[in-house]
Amino acid sequence: MRFGAALAIAGAVLGVPAWGAPARVVSLNVCTDQLAHLLAAPGQLISVSALAHDPRSSAYADALADIPANGGGAEEVVLLEPDLILAGTFTTRATVEMLEGLGHEVALFPPVTSLSQVTEHMARMGALLGREDAARNLIAAFEAGLDRTPPLPDGPRTLLYYPMGSTAGRGTLADALMEAAGLTNIAAEMGLSYGTLQLEQAVLAAPDLILTPAPYARPTRATDLPGHPALRAVAPLRRIEAGAAWSCETPALLQAIADLRALAEDAR
């Protein structure tokens, strides 16, 4: 296996509640929402963030629709009487500190930036929920899925171009997905992590393929730049339709990788 599921689980159990598997788990972050949903026992996950129900943000919005959403406020969470609270490291710090100050167990998950972190988070979530076997199975299935989707040989030099000219390069999950699909990320070539490319810079980079997210429901000036005629004259432009699959440490990432391969092959 590519990442070694057993090693990931053994090294990711810090922060496990001392009293055993929690019966009432509340999540405040769209990524912990989804990962907890995939691993939790029936009835164990009792509340998720509002974004969990939004298909633009959550790849498992339909499956999570029956789990009540919370507004992320400390007072609301306390009334749910949770045994364990799951949050992201960018969850409102005041909320997290208040919950911890009241004696609640809060497990923080940082955003993943690599595929190895994906399996580490799966292992850690399984340990937190007392669902280690489920985590092992999820990791094994994820790694098998990666093996079934090898990188595209001689993949195109690709520009990932978001609204307002922003892009993602080294040390980002988007870059890891592009690498897994066999695409060369121009932003990474340029030494960028997160940054902005002016239209002239994007054109001079001479991409073989340009990827942009699906446009907003209503036209905005923010989305005009990725579709500029000058870019369309340089390379094929393809839309990323399933943006929710790109964001979190779930098996939906496999679909994102497969979609990237398909877009690259279509542009040839």
Which structure tokens are listed for 234? 């340089």
CB 76 within 8 A of CB 70: yes
How high does pLDDT run on average in the chain? Answer: 89
Q: Given this model, what pLDDT does residue 216 score?
A: 55
Which structure tokens are listed for 144? 């098998």
Has residue 1 got a pLDDT over 80? no
Q: Which of the 8 DSSP states describes residue 221? A: G
Work out the widest C-alpha separation in the chain, in whole angstroms.
61
Q: Residue 212 carries which side chain, given as an amino acid letter?
A: T
Residue pLDDT, tens place only, 231-246: 888 899 998 887 899 9
For 81-123, the DSSP string reads --SEEEEETTS-HHHHHHHHHTT--EEEEPPP-SHHHHHHHHH
Q: Residue 18 burial (CB < 10 Å; 0-12/13-18/19+)?
A: exposed
Residue pLDDT, tens place only, 10-30: 444 444 444 579 999 999 999
Q: What is the pTM assigned to this prediction?
A: 0.88
Residue pLDDT, tens place only, 25-65: 999 999 999 999 999 999 999 999 999 999 999 999 999 99
Average pLDDT of span 237-265: 92
Residue pLDDT, tens place only, 101-122: 999 999 999 999 999 999 999 9
Domain boundaries, the chain: 5-146, 157-266
CB 152 within 8 A of CB 181: yes
Has residue 3 got a pLDDT over 80? no
Percent of the chain with pLDDT over 90: 73
- Residue 226: pLDDT band (50, 70, 90) is low
Which structure tokens are listed for 11? 């090294």
Has residue 73 got a pLDDT over 60? yes
Which structure tokens are listed for 50? 């509002």
- For residues 48-75, one letter each, b for 16 or more C-beta atoms within 10 angstroms of the residue's C-beta and e for the rest, the string is bbebbbeeebbbbbeebeebebbebebe
CB 174 within 8 A of CB 194: no
CB 7 within 8 A of CB 118: no
Has residue 267 got a pLDDT over 90? no
CA distance 72 to 29: 9
Q: Given this model, what pLDDT does residue 91 score?
A: 87
Beta strands in the chain (DSSP E): 25-27, 45-49, 69-70, 84-88, 106-109, 157-160, 166-168, 184-185, 194-196, 209-213, 237-240
Query: How crowded is residue 217: how many other Cβ atoms within 10 Å of its Cβ?
Result: 7
Sheet with 209-213: list strands edge to edge: 184-185, 157-160, 209-213, 237-240
CB 200 within 8 A of CB 234: no
- Residue 90: pLDDT band (50, 70, 90) is very high
Average pLDDT of span 249-266: 94
Has residue 2 got a pLDDT over 80? no
Has residue 222 got a pLDDT over 70? no
- For residues 144-179, one letter each, b for 16 or more C-beta atoms within 10 angstroms of the residue's C-beta and e for the rest, the string is eebeebebbeebbebbbbbbebbbbbbebbbbbbbb
CATH code for the domain defined by 5-146: 3.40.50.1980
CATH code for the domain defined by 157-266: 3.40.50.1980
Q: Given this model, what pLDDT does residue 13 score?
A: 44
CA distance 243 to 232: 21
Has residue 199 got a pLDDT over 50? yes
The answer to whether the 5-146 and 157-266 domains have the same CATH topology is yes
